[in-house]
Chain A
């Protein structure tokens, strides 16, 4: 499957067909098996009739054995195809849902950063499991029943017409109620199913957040209030589920009633016809039998409509993910050969999507390859934003960022990202081994020696000794079994192991002492003289050796230059430096 379907608003039905397309062969064979099964289904009544006739007409016990034999062998053949038919249809539904889930996940991987900050994790999880299940029911058992029912629906009325067209027309007149019924109910089922799925998402989000924050909840003893919240969401779910049941539960019986009406008509009119001698009793009995056979496709219509509407509601929810424009939609470009990796930022402006206040205004600077840039300034001045723009987690609003003379907007996003490694304030580790976490960005995630050397560079060695399985220690979710400092060092090692021309450190050495920080920074420089570093920090001492320092205020560059130049400027930087120095001295003096 090509995940090409995220242009504007894909049609649900077209999309479903696309999903099934790779399996058209299986579906064809499934359909063929279905035909064989249904045709063979005509056989048993005939055989039984023959057997009864032969008994009635005299002692034909031998024929009885033949009949029995045929009956059993027909059943064996039928059951073989019945097996195939189920396997083909149900198997296909699982495969198609596998494809869809894969498609959704790859799409998620491409979505911009902002999507995940405004979407609850539980909601996405619910879509990729609960909603996919509804879709699977439709594609598997739904499709199967639909085809089976259509077979009966398309053949039986014709046999009836053949036997007595007048009686057929009178009898089946009540069937016009079916489209009316279906039409009036299906909208309601669709909308209410959608509500139910949305409530299920709420439940999932509610529990996801609760479990992630369980330490706080227990710590503040607010279990009861959490229960109240959960109960409320649960009641909403039950309410919507019952609203769905209101329509649902009358739908089947109503379809059944339509057939019953046909039956009553048959008995009245057909009965009178028999009494009047217009038709034989045999035809009457046959009609009755056929009407009973029609009640199965009627039931089936009920089911299928139900499954269909639920699946479509769920598909809509899944498509919501797929229509989100991926971050790199227009960013697949041929790779560029860089002559140098000088960084050039010109008149850079940026606003966050739901915020009018610009986060960055007219920021310009240039940074030759291999140099170190320090960025500092008060909270919310745009330091982290600047780093995020460099790696294109967001698009710039105006102005430009150029690397080696190429505007990053014109670069292939994958290539751009592969130039950077970044350590953010908040460390996120995966629940894999420490080795796998360190070698996260490497092709080869097995090389233990390599992992160890980076662990050493990040000052992790003493910590590793503490763990019984060293590098192979399994981390818990988000690294729960590590201390804050250890997490920071693992993520530093991960950034170093990525071995990329740009290294961005976003205030990430706060849990590492100054000495180690210095060593780490020195080690980084030694490892690659050509590596460009951008260090964001509040600790001015970490920046003083940078080739260039920028002081940001409210998204604008207030001052820039080397440490020495900035001190001579006697502006914000000098003031802050002085304050930090005094504080340090004061504290030393106290001791």
Chain B
């Protein structure tokens, strides 16, 4: 069931680190510290203005009303009005600035996250569903926004007020002050108890949301398969499981969240009762004046206002903390080492050599065993073998998509690992069977790097691959908009896009995972020509499926269960009457 699936395997084991998280967020705030300190200043200024307002009101009552003076009434009322106007300006500016800074900070964070994602090794993407990563980049980062605008700054303002009131009460009358603050630890305990639970609930909810998104992404991509096999009902059922999980997780958070404010209400009543009873007794013992008691009552009321505000925001805070955790957990995934570090591979001189090379994705199942091959510059080499023989793995390794440790791969006698990944990836092009198509125009799909379009180069490529006739079939030629996943392209057109990409990169070494899907004879002819032209000038490794390609190769390597079992030309290998011969008979005879 869904519980043991690929989608639920991660997520819930991130550690609890609050202070750690704050420390991680700080550098982002630093970049905008100017704006940020202005916002903080505005928060304090706003609070100060707001606190001063009752003062003007009181003065207006004392001097204006009681003193029966119209003049001083107008004077203090004007002060009050000006104060309010000032507050309006300050709070507008504060709101705007908080939003602005918050968005800027998040933009940085999102970019960093995306950059980090570009640097993660392929093995990470092998085990992480796309939907889950998309959730982190959009949803979780957006939730984190609340941390800046709503929680972090206003909460610190509220806390300041709390302290101010607490200190004022204690200076007015120490014992009564202590009595009034007696319940604060209780408040703190409730907050602490619920904080962890709310946090767990949110964390759970966020994880469930990510799973839901992953399921969603997959089902949308596979919609036609679902339709063809009438599996709408069963898919709906699976989705519903996830949706229900999410709902339950959210309802959990509602449960704890609903606890908090009521708890604050009760603590408030207890505090008020304590102040009334103790203060009242003090008054009746003539220890304090009744005026002081009234002030205390006012202060307790004032004290609980920020408490209420904070407790409202604590959910926001916890929810964004849960998101922050997920964002930073992704940030903590080990990146590939700097892809630009190392020697530049820009000129392939003589040989590419595999020496005693072995590789496995997981320890108990070796994919390639003790491989020894040398390929000279300009050679066109075919690799053949059954599926699962390790052909595609060799390609991925040469591209440095996976780390290896056993044996060596040498280019011109230099260890492949000494070259920078970036230059190796640029210098060695891989054309895969499954051509990934991006939405955008045909042009964008060929010149993947933005702004590198070069009409001359394009024309040269079109000429060389003789693909004009195929382009003519597209309604707007190179400017044709291509749908996501290339829904409006034929298999042949996709293949050609992949070839064009390789031509644009103009690599030193070309690896071609020859497409197996058959195309019509016209396109087939174009593709065959293209393969010949692509590989004639360059050192090329072809994972070959077509007999015609194999025959055009200088040498054929036969792989079986990760081992090189035979090599030679087509004729030599047939004459040897070994593994290749069998393979040949199986694949190409009737």
Residues of A within 8 A of B114 (CB): 207, 210, 227, 230
Residues of B within 8 A of A208 (CB): 130-131, 134, 217
The answer to whether A211 touches B130 (Cβ under 8 A) is yes
Complex formed: what's the CA distance from A67 to B6 in Å? 60
The answer to whether A253 touches B88 (Cβ under 8 A) is yes
Give per-residue flags for B214-254: 1 if the beta carbon is below 8 A from chain A beta carbons, else 0. 00111111111111111110111001100110110011001
Residues of B within 8 A of A558 (CB): none
- Which residues of A in the span 304-318 have a Cβ within 8 Å of any Cβ on B? none
Complex formed: what's the CA distance from A248 to B85 in Å? 18
How many residues of chain B have a CB within 8 Å of chain A?
170
By beta carbon, the residue of chain A nearest B388 is: A466
The answer to whether A79 touches B518 (Cβ under 8 A) is no
Min CB gap B378→A, angstroms: 23
Q: Is A440 an interface residue (CB 8 A)?
A: yes
Residues of A within 8 A of B185 (CB): none
- Which residues of B in the span 265-301 have a Cβ within 8 Å of any Cβ on A? 265-266, 268-270, 272-274, 276-277, 280-281, 283-284, 290, 293-294, 297
The answer to whether A87 touches B111 (Cβ under 8 A) is no
Give per-residue flags for A556-591: 1 if the beta carbon is below 8 A from chain B beta carbons, else 0. 000000000000000000001001100100010011
Residues of B within 8 A of A329 (CB): none
Residues of B within 8 A of A219 (CB): 399, 425, 429-430
Contact of A200 among B80, B99, B118, B138 (CB under 8 A): B138
Q: Is A286 an interface residue (CB 8 A)?
A: no
Residues of A within 8 A of B520 (CB): 377-379, 381, 538
Complex formed: what's the CA distance from A222 to B401 in Å? 15
Which of the segments B320-328, B408-416, B434-442, B529-537 contacts the partner chain?
B434-442
Most chain A CB within 10 A, of B429, B501, B517, is at: B517
The answer to whether A72 touches B223 (Cβ under 8 A) is no
Question: Contacts A220-B505, A234-B107; is A75 near B68 (CB within 8 Å)?
Answer: no
* SS of B interface (majority): helix
Complex formed: what's the CA distance from A274 to B89 in Å? 31
Complex formed: what's the CA distance from A48 to B283 in Å? 15
Residues of A within 8 A of B297 (CB): 48, 52
Question: Contacts A86-B261, A105-B243, A218-B122; is A254 near B88 (CB within 8 Å)?
Answer: yes
Complex formed: what's the CA distance from A214 to B117 in Å? 9
Min CB gap B180→A, angstroms: 13
Contact of A69 among B247, B273, B392 (CB under 8 A): B273
Residues of A within 8 A of B523 (CB): 378-379
By beta carbon, the residue of chain B nearest A587 is: B547
Min CB gap A307→B, angstroms: 13
Residues of B within 8 A of A414 (CB): 230
The answer to whether A220 touches B449 (Cβ under 8 A) is yes
The answer to whether B518 touches A539 (Cβ under 8 A) is yes
Which of the segments B18-26, B70-78, B369-377 contacts the partner chain?
B70-78
Residues of A within 8 A of B261 (CB): 79, 82, 86
Min CB gap A220→B, angstroms: 5
Q: Is B204 an interface residue (CB 8 A)?
A: no
Per CB-CB distance, the 7 closest pairs between chain A and chain B, nearest first, are A75-B269, A249-B95, A79-B262, A68-B273, A117-B487, A260-B84, A245-B99
The answer to whether A80 touches B229 (Cβ under 8 A) is no
Q: Is B51 an interface residue (CB 8 A)?
A: no
- Which residues of A in the span 462-496 have a Cβ within 8 Å of any Cβ on B? 463, 466, 468, 474-478, 480-481, 483-486, 494
Q: Is B110 an interface residue (CB 8 A)?
A: yes
Residues of B within 8 A of A483 (CB): 387-388, 392
Question: Contacts A83-B262, A379-B492, A440-B229; is A218 near B257 (CB within 8 Å)?
Answer: no
Most chain B CB within 10 A, of A51, A120, A211, is at: A211
The answer to whether A431 touches B243 (Cβ under 8 A) is no
Contact of A48 among B5, B212, B224, B276 (CB under 8 A): B276
By beta carbon, the residue of chain B nearest A126 is: B138
Question: Contacts A74-B269, A219-B430, A507-B518; is A238 near B103 (CB within 8 Å)?
Answer: yes
Contact of B284 among A61, A90, A268 (CB under 8 A): A61
The answer to whether B231 touches A65 (Cβ under 8 A) is no
Q: Is A325 an interface residue (CB 8 A)?
A: no
The answer to whether B518 touches A510 (Cβ under 8 A) is yes
Q: Is A2 an interface residue (CB 8 A)?
A: no
Question: Contacts A75-B269, A441-B230, A541-B590; is A56 near B290 (CB within 8 Å)?
Answer: yes
Q: Is A46 an interface residue (CB 8 A)?
A: no
Residues of A within 8 A of B387 (CB): 463, 483-486, 511
Give per-residue flags for A221-236: 1 if the beta carbon is below 8 A from chain B beta carbons, else 0. 1111111111100110
Q: Is B142 an interface residue (CB 8 A)?
A: yes
